[in-house]
């Protein structure tokens, strides 16, 4: 097998010991270069002794070990009138879009939503692993979690440089790790997949490879998460299981961890909050050791640990046997831009949330008073000096990655348009700054309003919210001097 070890020069960087197998298509080698440089394969210009490497074959290029192969992106001047929508988005400082590689919108939307979480982005930047073949190790043998984490890191780094990208390597790694995502239709193209399944599997891969942040304030009894995912996305339920058919059986108490909450949609459900509350008390049947038979139990759950980033799935799909498909519930279920999880929590957690909640309330009261004072000053022709503000931590000191107020702010929505989970189209809607939102429809990125986000609640053929991502509501307070007055 013609396999060589070459050195790749890219700008001022040198990548030694890059393995090349000339039995394979050059695109696989270019995918390795993408992993190393962040330059998309179609934008690469790989040269050796004056010859340019093609995409489909190696041509007359002859290799030998330790050959130097300069690689650089092709950069051509482009004018606004010649730009497509994705290039215009880059010029306007909009986020990079992702090309649909054939029913891969479910993955594109997931990637765009998760990109809004700063601690996750930081953990990926610090992830040292790679998947370029080293020492004869092929890509898949490094393990799916390693390959997926490294490819997502490289993809985000490339997206930060702007322009629409083709997520070739991440799609390949997901297909290798989860063959069902690589299933093809009778027409030969990739089948549509469920975006929430993709979200769950991608997060599970990251959970295995991204360690938790160290917390110097953690005490002996503080939570000890093993990964950044558990730290910032993971919550805990306190549960109680009580038999309703006898008083002689003591309730069973326990704890359950979660990475997302489920909102089940009934005929009379109108609001997301009600759907979440309904799920916290449910009935089930199990064997009773006291009665010696199956009996009805009530399971009550309360949240004892709120994560900083709360994922909520609307359970919109159910299996229809007569059609052998996951049919969709189109019902309109309203969701808020700001969400309060206080009444979903245990009494103990509620007590811990109160100090920060009181700070939020005091700030709101202060804003009302200041608004009135500013109106009075404007009438007198006076100007109010701008205040210097600081942000307070959204975590409990001993529990990094938690939410210490119960208040959340919507930061991403993943929607589905269509009638079943294995058809239709997925789109990500992400908050950019303040109340500015961006619609990420594969490679097409555009600005949308708050009102358009609220229209995603369902009720028709338009996009329906499927997965919501809430981040912590940040408290900003004026910086005060030592004497207690505001800083000028």
Residue 406 belongs to a domain with what CATH number?
Answer: 3.90.70.10
CA distance 83 to 65: 41
* pLDDT recorded at residue 277: 94
Alpha-carbon distance values, 108 to 43, 164, 219 (Å): 20, 12, 40
- Per the structure, the complete domain to which residue 304 belongs is given by 228-343+401-472
* pLDDT recorded at residue 382: 59
Tokens of 310: 């709360």
The domain boundary, picked from 47, 76, 105, lies at: 76
* pLDDT recorded at residue 393: 95
* pLDDT recorded at residue 79: 46
Catalytically annotated residue among 105, 113, 263, 464 = 105
CA distance 170 to 98: 11
The domain boundary, picked from 43, 76, 109, lies at: 76
User: Does the residue 111 lie in any domain?
Assistant: no
Catalytically annotated residue among 147, 345, 425, 463 = 425
* pLDDT recorded at residue 88: 54
Q: Are 439 and 417 in contact (CB under 8 A)?
A: no
User: Does the residue 124 lie in any domain?
Assistant: no
Q: Do the bridges between strand 444-448 and strand 293-305 make them parallel or antiparallel, or are there none, so unpaired? A: unpaired
* pLDDT recorded at residue 80: 43
- In tens digits, the chain (488 residues) has pLDDT values of 467 777 777 776 777 777 777 777 777 777 777 766 767 677 777 877 667 777 777 777 777 665 555 555 444 444 444 555 545 554 556 889 999 999 999 999 999 999 999 999 999 999 987 765 433 444 455 789 999 999 999 999 999 987 789 999 999 999 999 999 999 888 788 999 999 999 999 999 999 999 999 998 887 777 789 999 999 999 999 999 999 999 999 999 999 999 999 999 988 999 999 999 999 999 999 999 999 999 999 999 999 999 999 999 999 887 666 666 677 888 999 999 999 999 999 999 999 999 999 999 998 888 888 777 777 666 666 565 556 778 899 999 999 999 999 999 999 999 999 877 678 999 999 998 888 899 999 999 999 999 999 999 998 778 999 999 999 999 988 776 444 444 44
Angle at 304 between CA 303 and CA 306, to 5 degrees: 75
In the three-class reduction of DSSP (H, G, I as helix; E, B as strand; rest coil), residue 233 is classed as helix
If one counts every other C-beta atom within 10 angstroms of the C-beta of residue 291, the result is 13
The CATH number of whichever domain residue 14 belongs to comes to 3.10.20.90
User: Does the residue 460 lie in any domain?
Assistant: yes
CA distance 335 to 410: 9
User: Does the residue 308 lie in any domain?
Assistant: yes
- Closest by CA to 273, choosing from 327, 320, 335, 319, is 335
CA distance 392 to 116: 20
The domain boundary, picked from 45, 76, 107, lies at: 76
Known catalytic residue at 105:
yes
In the three-class reduction of DSSP (H, G, I as helix; E, B as strand; rest coil), residue 211 is classed as strand
Residue that has been written with the tokens 């690689």 in this structure: 71
Known catalytic residue at 425:
yes
Q: Crossing angle for the helix pair 195-209 and 168-177, nearest 10 degrees?
A: 90
DSSP for 358-420?
A: HHHHHHHHHHHHHHHHHHHHHHTT--PPPPPEEEPPSSBTTBTTB-SSSEEEEEEEEEEESSB
User: Does the residue 423 lie in any domain?
Assistant: yes
Into how many domains does the chain fold? 2
Helix (H) or strand (E) holding 297: strand 293-305
């Amino acid at each position: 097998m013609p396999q060589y070890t070459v050195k790749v020069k890219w700008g001022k960087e040198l990548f030694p010991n890059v393995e090349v197998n000339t039995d394979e298509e050059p695109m696989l080698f270019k995918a390795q270069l993408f992993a190393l440089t962040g330059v998309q394969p179609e934008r690469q210009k790989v040269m050796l002794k004056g010859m340019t490497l093609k995409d489909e074959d190696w041509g007359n290029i002859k290799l030998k070990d330790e050959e130097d192969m300069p690689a650089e992106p092709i950069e051509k001047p482009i004018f606004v009138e010649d730009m497509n929508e994705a290039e215009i988005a880059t010029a306007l400082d909009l986020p990079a879009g992702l090309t649909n590689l054939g029913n891969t919108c479910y993955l594109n939307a997931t990637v765009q939503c998760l990109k809004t979480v700063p601690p996750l982005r930081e953990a990926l930047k610090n992830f040292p692993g790679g998947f370029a073949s080293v020492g004869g190790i092929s890509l898949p043998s490094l393990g799916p979690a390693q390959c997926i984490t490294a490819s997502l890191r490289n993809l985000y780094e490339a997206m930060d440089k702007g322009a629409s990208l083709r997520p070739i390597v991440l799609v390949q790694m997901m297909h290798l790790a989860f063959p069902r995502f690589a299933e093809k239709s009778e027409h030969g193209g990739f089948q549509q997949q469920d975006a929430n399944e993709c979200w769950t599997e991608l997060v599970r891969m990251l959970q295995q490879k991204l360690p938790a942040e160290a917390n110097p304030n953690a005490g002996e009894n503080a939570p000890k998460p093993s990964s950044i995912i558990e730290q910032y996305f993971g919550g805990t339920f306190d549960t109680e299981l009580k038999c309703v058919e006898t008083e002689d059986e003591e309730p069973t108490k326990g704890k359950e961890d979660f990475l997302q909450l489920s909102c089940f949609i009934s005929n009379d459900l109108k609001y997301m909050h009600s759907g979440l509350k309904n799920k916290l008390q449910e009935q089930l049947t199990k064997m009773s050791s006291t009665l010696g038979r199956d009996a009805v139990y009530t399971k009550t759950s309360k949240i004892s640990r709120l994560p900083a980033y709360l994922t909520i799935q609307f359970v919109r799909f159910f299996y229809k046997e007569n059609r052998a498909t996951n049919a969709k519930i189109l019902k309109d279920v309203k969701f808020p831009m700001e969400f309060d999880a206080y009444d979903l929590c245990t009494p103990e957690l509620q007590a811990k949330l109160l100090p920060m909640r009181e700070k939020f309330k005091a700030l709101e009261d202060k804003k009302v008073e200041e608004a009135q004072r500013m109106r009075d000053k404007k009438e007198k022709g006076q100007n109010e000096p701008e205040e210097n503000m600081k942000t307070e931590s959204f975590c409990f000191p001993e529990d990094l990655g938690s939410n210490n107020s119960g208040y959340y702010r919507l930061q991403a929505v993943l929607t589905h348009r269509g009638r079943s989970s294995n058809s239709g189209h997925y789109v990500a809607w992400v908050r950019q700054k303040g109340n500015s939102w961006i619609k990420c429809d594969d490679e097409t990125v555009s600005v949308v309003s708050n009102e358009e986000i609220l229209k995603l609640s369902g009720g028709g053929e338009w996009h329906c919210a499927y997965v919501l991502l809430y981040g912590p509501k940040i408290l900003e307070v004026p910086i005060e001097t030592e004497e207690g007055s505001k800083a000028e």
